[in-house]
Amino acid sequence: PRQVAFVQAVLATGKQACSSASTIKLEGKGHAPVNIALSKYWGKRDTILNLPQNGSVSISLPGLGTDTTLRPLASDSSQQVTAQDRISLNGQQLDAHQPFAHRLSQFLDLFRTAEVPFFEVITHNTVPTAAGLASSASGYAALVLALDDLFNWQLPATQLSLLARLGSGSASRSLFPGFAIWHAGQSEQGLDSFAEALDAPWPDFCVGLVEIDVAEKPVGSTAGMQQTTAACALYSAWPAQAERDKAVIINAIQQQDFSQLGATAEHNALSMHATMIASWPPLLYWQAESVIAMQKVWALRQQGVEVYFTMDAGPNLKLLFLAAQKKAVSAAFSGLKVIEPFAKPDTQAAS
């Protein structure tokens, strides 16, 4: 009920901006990129409305993300439709009880109407699902864009971000290319907890993906956060540090101070993982190869190659460096996938 009221409030505020009455289309489409947090979201102050303990800053990765198509499914149509959504992921039809499909249908519960009692959802990820590469972020952002298209709401970005947040917190940031800031907000209603673009293109900024393991993670972020906030004494220090790191990183982006950005992002990620490790039962997303990769990054820095890492709720590392170091970093990490978020499309293809 609080979620329903929230969605109604978001739609009511957003629709003031668009004049025409909404008419349902035959099909809605959405695309959103994945994003990597430079200063992390970890912990919720409200699990129903998905309100975070702290704000965060991210960079979206063009070319990696989710494409989603939505179509209305009538419950009484001639084509033998059962009373549930029909969801496919990467070309595979999913059982309604499968966790991914179940979570998606619960989110769609908030948007059913008399005309659209059920949905057909066709979704394709260009990233491995649940491999710590934030597929839920691009997934819920793309889904909200597809809903906006299907119902022809024409919502502004702020409202889209608010709705995406309800599906997955990090999805609030995936509505924007480049850098994005998700404000924690203060209100109980949650209408002030949305992301916005930090419009500061940084042409030589690079992100490298070190894939340690792309298998589905055993403990998802939602459960991991619950475990950490419930059973970690160190966690009490986290929200304040995360807010400070967020401010430093925003400043570093605006000044294009890469050393400050990299050091703060790496320290922020390790601090977040420290809270996970210090919970009970312990939560350790790292594998032995993750630690070897971290040590490689530190060795490179000692040799004068300025590269930093960040990690999310999984074993993979994301490297942060500038284009001048691309050769040296790629030489040290064989098979490194390098993304240049601000590169022109033609140079992106060549890299």
Binding site residues, ligand DP6, CB under 6 A: 37, 40-42, 50, 56, 134, 136-137, 168-170, 221-222, 312-313
Q: Which two structure tokens, joined as six digits, stand for 173?
A: 């940031």
Q: How far is the CB of 244 from ligand DP6 (least distance, A)?
A: 16
Residue closer to ligand DP6, measured from CB, 125 or 330? 125
Residue closer to ligand DP6, measured from CB, 221 or 325? 221
Q: How far is the CB of 230 from ligand DP6 (least distance, A)?
A: 14
Q: Which amino acid is at 104?
A: L
Which residues are CB-contacts of 30 (< 8 A; sequence separation ≥ 6)? Answer: 67, 68, 70, 141, 142, 143, 144, 145, 146, 147, 148, 149
CB 311 within 8 A of CB 303: no
Q: Which two structure tokens, joined as six digits, stand for 256?
A: 């294009």
Other CB atoms within a 10 A radius of the CB of residue 3 amount to 16
Q: Which two structure tokens, joined as six digits, stand for 106?
A: 């619960």
Q: How far is the CB of 42 from ligand DP6 (least distance, A)?
A: 6
Residue closer to ligand DP6, measured from CB, 207 or 313? 313
In DSSP terms, 89 is beta-bridged to 92, 123
Residue closer to ligand DP6, measured from CB, 37 or 300? 37
Q: How far is the CB of 41 from ligand DP6 (least distance, A)?
A: 3
Q: How far is the CB of 182 from ligand DP6 (least distance, A)?
A: 8
Residue closer to ligand DP6, measured from CB, 42 or 151? 42
Q: What are phi and psi of 89, to 5 degrees?
A: -125, 120
Q: What are phi and psi of 190, to 5 degrees?
A: 80, 10
Q: How far is the CB of 113 from ligand DP6 (least distance, A)?
A: 25
Q: How far is the CB of 214 from ligand DP6 (least distance, A)?
A: 16
Q: How far is the CB of 84 from ligand DP6 (least distance, A)?
A: 22
How many residues are given for the chain? 351
Q: What are phi and psi of 152, to 5 degrees?
A: 55, 45
Q: Which two structure tokens, joined as six digits, stand for 6?
A: 């929230």
CB 143 within 8 A of CB 123: yes
Residue closer to ligand DP6, measured from CB, 73 or 312? 312
Residue closer to ligand DP6, measured from CB, 123 or 136? 136
Instruction: Compute the distance between CA of residue 118 and CA of residue 155 in angstroms, rounded to an integer.
Output: 22
Q: DSSP class of residue 175? A: G
Q: DSSP class of residue 316? A: -
Residue closer to ligand DP6, measured from CB, 12 or 230? 230
Residue closer to ligand DP6, measured from CB, 15 or 44? 44
Residue closer to ligand DP6, measured from CB, 35 or 325? 35
Picking from 158, 193, 153, the residue whose alpha carbon sits closest to that of residue 176 is: 158
CB 317 within 8 A of CB 210: yes
305: Cα within 13 Å, side-chain hemisphere: 21
Q: How far is the CB of 257 from ligand DP6 (least distance, A)?
A: 21
What secondary structure does DSSP assign to 33-75, as a single string?
Answer: EEEEEEE----EEETTTTEESS-EEEEEEEEEEEEEEEEEE-T
Q: How far is the CB of 221 from ligand DP6 (least distance, A)?
A: 3
